[in-house]
């Protein structure tokens, strides 16, 4: 047993020798350098949101003034057309006949006018001759060189020539009226023939079409619907109690979901009629010229209704994971995760409804690798 005790004392004796003892070495703590911003109260705009649909400011329903068969159709749904571009050509052979008949009647009157002018010239010459002869006979009668019978015959010829001239001039005047009538008939026939070509009233986009070649077109029946290019409005439904904030000319902010962008706009019209069932009115907001706008898009209008003081932090400081939102706060050189409830966003700031107190410092921007409990060093 004694050898066993001697071996057991060796470690103790070696520890009591003159050799220096070993000391524990602690590794330095690595801290992540971060920047912080204090949660602060900010004057926050209060807004009212109204939803609506994008509509064209100007829409026209194209129809015909004639009953005829469609011979050619030059537009389809979605086509962009220019002002005056032909959309439909109708079968107008009977109208061509009417125009030709009216033009032939006008030519006939023109020929009659030429004949009447010749008749007036001839009657005028005969009247001048009869007048000169009558004056000569009158001089001869005063000299007792002719008989009363000869003088009376000269006077009768003068009166007959004068009557013939009056009749010729009257016929010429009647032909002028006839010519004016024929010109109107030609013009009317041309206008009717012009109705056989249906054109776009303005530059726009075809949104509906209900005609094909061979279709019998009836006056007043819709053929196309066209929307003017580049002129759109958001027709928003505004609650009755909020209509007072929607004044003509008021600046609003509009978001179009299909375009994923927000832009400024102005109220153009407030429809005075209130929907009794929905208890809301329609507010029309003029939209700027933007590519991609089209009828039917869903939009939101935000009306400024004043301001309030709220607690805010930079939007970049908030982390969203599913339905949870959180921030990292700096406390005693340690990063701590704090769940928060957020509200509205304005530019680069976000409203904090709960989870933070004024003055608490949140880490922003959030460095890669930052986690709850990470040692940090706040940059000054």
What CATH number should be reported for the domain holding residue 326? 2.40.420.20
Residues 300 and 327 in one domain: no
Q: Is residue 14 part of a domain?
A: no
* Cβ-defined contacts of 340-349 (< 8 Å, 24+): 342/318, 343/310, 344/44, 344/47, 345/315, 346/44, 346/45, 348/314, 348/315, 348/316, 349/42, 349/312, 349/313, 349/314, 349/315
Check whether residue 75 and residue 219 sit in a common domain: yes
Check which CATH number belongs to the domain holding 175 and give it: 1.10.287.470
Whether residue 134 lies inside any domain: the answer is yes
Is 27 part of any domain? no
Q: Of 307, 337, 359, which closes a domain?
A: 307
Q: What is the pTM of this model?
A: 0.53
Note whether residue 236 is domain-resident: yes
Residue 193: what pLDDT? 87
Single residue among 307, 335, 370 that ends a domain in this structure: 307
Both 280 and 322 in one domain: the answer is: no
Q: How far apart are CA 12 and CA 181, in angstroms?
A: 142
Residue 6 confidence (pLDDT):
39
Residues 235 and 273 in one domain: yes
Residues 204 and 84 in one domain: yes
Q: Which of 252, 283, 307 is the last residue of a domain?
A: 307
Question: Are both 188 and 103 inside the same structural domain?
Answer: yes
Together in a domain, 201 and 86 = yes
Same domain for 115 and 255?
A: no
**Range(s) of the domain holding residue 81:** 64-90+196-227
- Cβ atoms of residues 338 and 318 within 8 Å: no
Give me the pLDDT at residue 12, please: 40
Q: Within this chain, do residues 357 and 280 fall inside the same structural domain, yes or no?
A: no
Answer yes or no: is 23 within a domain: no
pLDDT at 296: 87
Torsion angle in degrees (nearest 10) through CA of 335, 339, 344, 345: 20
337 forms beta bridges with 328
Residue 354 lies in a domain: yes
CATH number of the structural domain spanning residue 201: 2.40.50.100
Domain-located, residue 329: yes
- Considering the domain architecture, whether residues 107 and 175 belong to the same structural domain is answered as yes
Q: Which residues of the chain have pLDDT under 70?
A: 1-29, 380
Cβ neighbors of 251 (< 8 A, separation 6 or more) are 264, 265, 266, 304
| CATH code for position 237 | 2.40.30.170
86 shares a domain with 121: no
The answer to whether residues 97 and 237 belong to one domain is no
292 in a structural domain: yes
As for how many domains the chain has, the answer is 4
């Amino acid at each position: 047993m004694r050898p066993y005790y001697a071996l057991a004392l060796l470690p103790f004796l070696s520890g009591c020798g003159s050799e220096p003892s070993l000391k524990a070495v602690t590794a330095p703590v690595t801290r992540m350098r971060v920047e912080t911003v204090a949660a602060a109260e900010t004057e926050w705009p209060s807004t009212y949101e109204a939803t609506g649909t994008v509509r064209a400011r100007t829409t026209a329903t194209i129809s015909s003034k004639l009953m005829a068969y469609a011979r050619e159709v030059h537009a389809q749904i979605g086509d962009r057309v220019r002002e005056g571009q032909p959309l439909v050509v109708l079968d107008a052979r009977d109208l061509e006949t009417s125009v030709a008949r009216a033009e032939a009647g006008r030519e006939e009157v023109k020929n009659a006018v030429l004949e009447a002018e010749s008749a007036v010239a001839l009657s005028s010459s005969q009247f001048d001759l009869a007048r000169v002869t009558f004056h000569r006979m009158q001089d001869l009668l005063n000299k007792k060189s002719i008989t009363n019978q000869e003088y009376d015959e000269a006077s009768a010829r003068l009166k007959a020539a004068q009557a013939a001239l009056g009749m010729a001039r009257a016929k010429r005047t009647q032909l002028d009226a006839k010519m004016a009538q024929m010109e109107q008939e030609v013009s009317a026939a041309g206008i009717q023939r012009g109705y056989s070509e249906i054109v776009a009233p303005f530059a726009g986009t075809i949104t509906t079409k209900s005609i094909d070649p061979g279709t019998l077109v009836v006056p007043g029946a819709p053929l196309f619907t066209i929307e003017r290019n580049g002129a759109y409005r958001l027709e928003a439904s505004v609650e009755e109690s909020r209509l007072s904030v929607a004044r003509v000319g008021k600046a609003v902010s509009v978001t179009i979901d299909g375009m994923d962008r927000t832009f400024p706009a102005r109220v153009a019209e407030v429809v005075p009629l209130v929907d009794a069932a929905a208890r809301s009115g329609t507010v029309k907001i003029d939209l700027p010229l933007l590519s991609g706008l089209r009828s039917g898009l869903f939009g939101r209008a935000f009306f400024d209704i004043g301001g309030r003081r709220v607690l805010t932090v930079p939007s970049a400081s908030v982390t969203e994971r599913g339905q949870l939102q959180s921030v990292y706060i700096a406390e005693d050189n340690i990063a701590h995760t704090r769940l928060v409830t957020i509200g509205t966003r304005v530019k680069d700031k976000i409203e904090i409804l709960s989870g933070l107190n004024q003055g608490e410092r949140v880490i922003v921007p959030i460095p890669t690798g930052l986690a709850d409990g990470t040692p940090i060093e706040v940059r000054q």
